[in-house]
Structure formats: structure tokens, C-alpha cells
Structure 1
């Protein structure tokens, strides 16, 4: 794809999970019950954060997992080891979800090596805080949309021929879509687009038995914030404004993705779950 905008290097994105202190909690909290037995899932941004926790939980519940990530190979390989430790197959694929050709090649590789595709989790995203809208460069604006929403379109387009009745798509939106974020104008705008995309795609695919839902996390301790330009003051109080009074951990969010991906949610499509520390939003 020749018109893909180069990645911005103004910050440390996507960031190494291994560099965080304290470490995010990705470990599944309970034994598996086979809710995804025999399934094959793609999880984007699965090298760290919420994506790693989702991959770990999916594997515990019986799924083979393809781990799509941008460039943090050491983190991605650790996630793959976690999946394999649960007795499941893991496949790591590095590349930019904002590149349509990469998405097509990645899906083809998953189907060729893992045999099929049942679940697509669109989790990868990027953010770049700015105090003033005039500080957002055209390159940054295009890049944020390219990763956060164009990548979802590209992956769904690539996956669609392989998704049969009973398949599930789960997108990651954000509490910023509902509450807004004065310093994350472009990021929150993409999350609004993701929610609208989720609802519309559900209407488009439900007749073929493919469910589409989303999860809207609140402030979660992952590499996205410390490596995405958040200042020390924000990090020192990160998550404290939630009613629960702290940031969430990735393994507190992963069960929402599992629920929407498995047959427990067989009567749900076009919906958004809100693991956000108790913030009340208009869902």
C-alpha cells in the first residue's frame, strides 16, 4: 500500500510492557471452561496491555490465537508463550493494521496456518495527547484515524470471506467516546467512529449469523498511556477520578471481550460493554 502514512515517532508508541512499573496484570483469574474450544481468534495489539490479557484468556478458554502487533517483538513473543502455556497454538504477525495489504496478508496467513477464523478482536490503537486542537498536525490526525478506525475496516474486509455463521467481531472503543477527552481530540473522535462502525456493522452482518459488539474500557494500566505522551502529573493520578478510585487492570477488561466472543452472548449484537471503574455513561 503506497499511500500509508509513516508512523509518527514523536513519542514512544507502542511501548514495551516489560518497561512498565508496576507491571500490568494480564493473568486470567479463573480456570477455563472451554467456552472457545476449537476456535481461532485474531487479536490485534496483542503484544501487551488489554490485547495480551485477551489473548491469554482466549487461550485458557480453548482458542488458538494469532497475535498481531506493530513492532514490539519481545512483548509479542511473551504473549505467544503465554498462549502456548495454555496448550494452544500461537502465531505472531508483525505489521501495521493501517496498511490494507498487511491486513489481507495477515488474515491469509492465519487461515493458512491455523485453518480458519472464528473471532476477530480489533484492539490495536494509538493516542497522542495535545492541549490545543491547533497542535494536532495533519500527519498525526491522519495517522490516528488510520490505525484506530481504518485498520478495523481493513481487517474486517480481509476477514469477511472467512467468517461463517456463529463468528464474532469485538471492537475496542473507549469511555472517551462517551465522556469526551479535552486532551485526546483525535483519539476520542476515532472511538466515536468505532462505536458507530460497530453498530452499523452489526446491522450489516447479523443476517449472516455474525455478531458484532464492542468494549469501551475506562482508564486501564497499559503501555498506551505512559508511552503515548501522558505527562508525569497525569500518570501520578491516572484512574483516580473513577468512582472505584483507581485504574483498571487488563485482566479486568478481558472477560468482557470473552463474553462477547463466546456463545454466552449469542443474543447480543451491536452492543457496547463498559468496564470503566463505575463511570455512568449513556451506552
Structure 2
């Protein structure tokens, strides 16, 4: 892995962030990953698949034989890199651009995938956003509504639309966060949304158990993705991940295998649970 320590100071002005502007670039694939056709014939839908964790998941799923659709907001260059990576692996793919906080768009996404492949076996709700504020009184109603719309409502809308095309034995995987368990003093609304994602995961797992659809989550700690330099100032970025026991941020590629595990039959007796990939932070949750 490239990042053995914290990253160099850097900041991006636009949100969502752009991966091509990051130094060093996040790693989404590794040469030592050994695929075993664990998702052969499966169709996966991944949100936020243009970069970061979402791209790593898309690539790992493709290596395991899945056909991959991914949704992104407006990062066309990053999305093209994901598409190229999937093409290089030989996977069928579909990139869909739009805003998941709109219920109608979520329905359109699912319809496009159904028209192309006729089913959805794996749904990865991964897209999200964050906006640091040191004072709760600085969080405007519009920011609060936008954060919940992107991180929670979109997850509901897409899951509602996708379920009608998900056969028995399918898997839903949600990206929550270490902040849902240990909190964060400047990410109050973001942490609240991730707590909602964890509760949604547990409740939906119970709700869908009789349909044999498993629902689990991954709670990343500090991971080196475009979200970081586009969210924090240079000083904060230069210290990012340094407070973990491993004293560094994680790479997206280090999370990909966890999403494979939760999507395939290796985790057939696991539902309503959360995997914590956070550099050694103990959260007891």
C-alpha cells in the first residue's frame, strides 16, 4: 500500500472531490488479490462507484465475475476510470449519472439495470457526503436536509426500488462509518446519518430474513478517498488517519474484500451485522 503514513497536506475546493487531483492517488486494486469466481453470474449495483470505496468494490466484484452497474453524481472523469478498469477485467458494466436523493432517479436506475440484466443480486448503498461544522448552530436546515437526503433517504429510495428485482439469496450491503459508534465533534449531522444507516441495516435484516435476503454493513474508519481533501483543510488532511492504532489511513483496496465477503455465500449465516475496518479502533458495536 502506498500510504504507510498520513498523506501530504492538500485540499480541493469542489465537492464531491476528484480523485485525479489527489496525491498520492487512492489504491482501489491490488495485485495480490486472488479471485475465486465467488460472484459469477451475479449483478451488482453500487452507489458512489466512480471513486474511493465504491470503485474498489466495483473492481473486486468484477474480478469475482459479477456484472457491475454503478451510480455517480457528476464526476465524469473518475467514472470513466472505473469503467475502464472494469473493461480491463472483462466485466460488463453500466455507469449511471444522477442524484440519488431524488426518488424518481432511483426508480430509473433500477429500471435501466432490469432492462439490461433482468435482476439485481447485490445492492451496495455506499454514496454519501459530509460537511464539517464546529458548532451545531452553524448547521443550516439546508445542510441538515441535504446530508440526510444523500446519506439516508437515497438509501431508502434505492432499496425500495431495487427489492422488486432482487431474488431470494440476494445481499444488501450498506456503508456506515466509525463515526456512528464513536462520534465526531465536527461531523454532527454526518455521524447522525451513519447511526441511522446502522439502525436501518439491523432492522431491514430482520424484515427481509424470511425472503432470504441478507443485509449487512461495513463501517470504515479513516479511508483515503476524494471525500477527505474535498471536506477538510490542509492541516487536517496532513494528520488524517494518524490517530488510529495503525497510525495511517486505510486504502479503498483494503475494504474491497470485505464487501466481497458480505456479497457471496461465504457469509451465508450473517445478517444484520457490521464489519469494522478502521485501523484498530475498538468500538464494541
TM-score, normalised with respect to structure 2: 0.94
Q: 1:111 aligns with which of 114, 117, 120?
A: 114
Q: In the aligned structure 2, how far is the partner of 1:91 from the partner of 1:24?
A: 22
SS at match of 2:217: strand
Q: In the aligned structure 1, how far is the partner of 2:33 from the partner of 2:229?
A: 29
Deviations 1:195-232 (A, max 9, x none): 0000000000011000000000000000011112x111
Q: In the aligned structure 1, how far is the partner of 2:63 from the partner of 2:118?
A: 19
Deviations 1:206-264 (A, max 9, x none): 11000000000000000011112x11111111000000010000000111111101110
Tell me the residue number matched to 1:276: 278
Deviations 1:83-120 (A, max 9, x none): 12111101000011111000000010011112321000
Tell me the residue number matched to 1:92: 95
Structure 1 unaligned blocks of 5 or more: 1-9
Q: 2:268 aligns with which of 266, 269, 273?
A: 266
Q: 2:55 aligns with which of 42, 46, 52?
A: 52
How far 1:11 sits from its partner (Å)?
Answer: 5.4
Q: 1:256 aligns with which of 255, 258, 275?
A: 258
Q: 1:242 aligns with which of 238, 241, 244?
A: 244
SS at match of 1:224: coil
SS at match of 1:227: coil
Tell me the residue number matched to 1:15: 17
Q: In the aligned structure 2, how far is the partner of 1:207 from the partner of 1:252?
A: 32
SS at match of 2:54: helix
Q: 1:192 aligns with which of 195, 205, 208?
A: 195
Q: In the aligned structure 2, how far is the partner of 1:137 from the partner of 1:257?
A: 34
SS at match of 2:25: coil
SS at match of 1:55: helix
Tell me the residue number matched to 2:151: 148
For the Cα contact (< 8 Å) 2:118–2:165, is it kept in 1? no
For the Cα contact (< 8 Å) 2:219–2:277, is it kept in 1? yes
Tell me the residue number matched to 1:221: 224
Q: 2:184 aligns with which of 161, 181, 184?
A: 181
Structure 2 unaligned blocks of 5 or more: 1-11
Q: In the aligned structure 1, how far is the partner of 2:61 from the partner of 2:21?
A: 25
Greater RCO (CA < 8 Å, at least 6 residues apart): 2
RMSD over aligned Cα atoms: 1.1
For the Cα contact (< 8 Å) 1:67–1:80, is it kept in 2? no
How far 1:12 sits from its partner (Å)?
Answer: 1.6
For the Cα contact (< 8 Å) 2:29–2:56, is it kept in 1? yes
How far 1:276 sits from its partner (Å)?
Answer: 0.3
